[in-house]
Structure 1
Amino acid sequence: MTILVSNSGGTPPGAEWPQIRTVGIDGLLVSFGDRLSEPANRAALALRNAIERADWVGVEETSTSMVSTYLRFDPLWQGHAAMRASLRELLGQQDWFAAALPTGRRLWRIPTVYGTDLAPQLNEAAAVAGLSPEEAMVSISQSRVRVQTIGFAPGQPYLGELPPEWDIPRQTALTDKVPIGALTVAIRQIVLFSVSAPTGWRHVGQTAFSLFRPDDATPFVLRPGDEVLFEPTTAEELANMRASGPDGGATSEVLQ
C-alpha cells in the first residue's frame, strides 16, 4: 500500500513517499525514501516517537532504520487493516519530512585521536576526499552528526551526514580488523565501532568510548536521534581517559 503526503525534499522527484509495507504476519514498515537523506531520517525518527506517544493497543515494538519506521504488533489485538488505517491517519496529520525531532535526545562530545598509529587511514581518506590530513580532521571534528540508526553490531551507530567532500567510496578490500571505538568513514557517514571487526570503511579516528555495555540497565549508550561531536585529543590524553571508565572521557547533555 502506498500513500502520498507532502514532501519537503530529499526524495527523488515523482516518488510517492511515505510507503506502508507489510513485514511478515505481525509487522508494518513505513519508508520515507529509497535512499538516505536528512528529511527522510528525520521523518522516520519523528514517526516512531509519535507512535510510541500514541500508545496504540497491540503495538509491541518499534524501531527505525535510516529512512524507515518499523512497528510490530499483536494481530490478535489489531489486524493489519486496522493498523494500516491508524498509520494512514497519523501520517496525514503533518509533513513528516519537516517534523520536529523527538525531545530527550542527547548531544555527546567524544574525545577522538585522529590519525597516528591508532587510526592509520586518515591520510588515505583525506586524499580520497581531496583534503589535507589537517583539513580532514577539522572537517570531521567540527561536524555535528546525528545517530541515524543503530545496526550491524550491538549498539553500533551510523552517523551523518558529513560535508559533501566525504562522499567517498568504501575500500575495495577489507581491513582485517579495527578495534572497539574505531571511527571510520565512507559515503558521507561515520560508523563508530562497538566491537572489533573487519570493515571496508577507512579508520580515521580512535576513541575510548564503550558503546555496548551488556551489564548496564541501558546496554546501548547512543540512541537514534542523538547528536555527536568527535573532538580532537592526543593519544596520551586518550590513554588516561580510557582508564577512567567506559565513557572514555565523553560527556553528554540533553538537547531541548
Structure 2
Amino acid sequence: MSAAAPLTAEVLPAGLDGFIIRFALTPDPAAMVAARRFANRLEDEAPKGVTEIAPALVTVLVRFDCARTGRADRSALRARMEAMAQEVIAGPLDMPDPARRWTIPVAFGAANGPQLAQVAGAVGTSEEAAVRDICAADLRVLTIGFAPGQPYVGLLPEAWNLPRMAELNPSVPAGALVVAVRQFVLFGAESATGWQQVGRAAFRTFVPAREEPTLLQGGDAIRFAHATPAEIDTLEKGGDPMGGARLEVLR
C-alpha cells in the first residue's frame, strides 16, 4: 500500500495530558499506513512520561503523566513527535511487516451473511468469487475501537469501497462479519450496524473473563478461512471463544 499523494502531519493538543497526531481528516489509505507506522515506532521508542499510545485509523493519541512531564518536557515531547511524524510521512508508506497472523474461520452467505449477494453485486462479481477474494485478501487490524476489542480490518481493493447503508440494521449477532468502505468489522457482541453482513465467525474478539480479554492487536495480519455453517455452529456450541482461530507468531 503506497501513498498516492504527499501527506501532512499535525500534532494537536488533547486536553492537559495528551497530543493527537493526525495524518488526515478522512480515512485515506496512506494516512492509515502512516498512523500504524507512527504508532509502531512510538511503541518501540516511547519517550519518558508517556502513559498511553492509542492509534485510530488516521490518528494516534499519546497521553503523558503530567506529574512527571514538566512544561519543558512537554515541549520537547511535542517536538520529538513532530519530527517523528515528518519522518514517517516521508516514507516508505508501506504497512510494516506483521509480527503475528490470525486465521479466523467464517461461514459466508445465506443466514450467516444475508447481504453477501448484495455486496457481490455492488462489487461486480459473484458470491463465490467475492468469498474467494475475501479469503485471499492480505488484511491487517487497522485499529481497535467503537467497542472493547472490536477490530477494523482492511484494506480491500478499491472495488470494495462500498458506502454504509442508508438505514441501520438494528441487530447482527456476535461474530457477524460486516463490510463497508474497504474494511471489515468483526463484532464481539450483538450490535446495530450500518455495514453489510457477509459472514459469521465463532471467534469472540472480547471476552472479559479471559486472561487476555482482547486478543487482536493493531497491525496483526488477518486471514479469513471459508468454513461451513455447520462448522461454525459446532465451534460456537463447543463454548471455546477462540472459535477455531489460529495464531502464528511471525517474528
TM-score (norm 1): 0.88
Deviation of the 1:54 alpha carbon: 2.3
Q: Structure 2: which 5+ runs fail to align? A: none
Alignment check: 8 A CA contact 2:38 2:88 kept: no
Q: Deviations over 1:83-139 (max 9, x none)?
A: 212223434555564267567731111111010212211111111222211121111
Amino acid at match of 2:240: G
Match of 2:189 among 182, 187, 195: 195
Match of 2:19 among 9, 25, 28: 28
Q: What CA distance in whole angstroms lies between the structure 1 residues aligned with 2:231 and 2:144?
A: 28
Q: Deviations over 1:206-250 (max 9, x none)?
A: 100010011223211111101111111101111222216111111
Amino acid at match of 2:54: S
87-96 or 62-71, which deviates more = 87-96
Deviation of the 1:255 alpha carbon: 2.7
Q: What CA distance in whole angstroms lies between the structure 2 residues aligned with 1:96 and 1:247?
A: 39
1:105 has 2:96 as partner: no
State the partner residue of 2:64.
73
1:205 has 2:196 as partner: no
Q: Relative to 1, partners in 2 of residues 1:178 and 1:157: Cα closer, same or farther, differing over 3 Å?
A: same
Query: Residues 238-249 of structure 1 correspond to what in structure 2 (within 5 A)?
Result: 238-242=232-236, 243=238, 245-249=240-244
69-78 or 46-55, which deviates more = 46-55
Q: Relative to 1, partners in 2 of residues 1:170 and 1:55: Cα closer, same or farther, differing over 3 Å?
A: closer
Q: What CA distance in whole angstroms lies between the structure 1 residues aligned with 2:85 and 2:181?
A: 30
Alignment check: 8 A CA contact 1:153 1:195 kept: no
TM-score (norm 2): 0.89
Q: Structure 1: which 5+ runs fail to align? A: 1-7
Deviation of the 1:36 alpha carbon: 2.5
Amino acid at match of 2:14: V
Query: Residues 1-256 of structure 1 correspond to what in structure 2 (within 5 A)?
Result: 9-11=3-5, 17-78=8-69, 79=71, 80-91=74-85, 93=87, 95=89, 97-98=91-92, 105-242=99-236, 243=238, 245-256=240-251
Amino acid at match of 1:171: M
- Please give the root-mean-square deviation of Cα atoms over the aligned residues, in Å: 2.1
Amino acid at match of 2:125: L
Alignment check: 8 A CA contact 1:39 1:97 kept: no
**Fraction of identical pairs, as percent:** 37
Q: What CA distance in whole angstroms lies between the structure 1 residues aligned with 2:27 and 2:4?
A: 8
69-78 or 107-116, which deviates more = 69-78
Alignment check: 8 A CA contact 2:10 2:82 kept: no
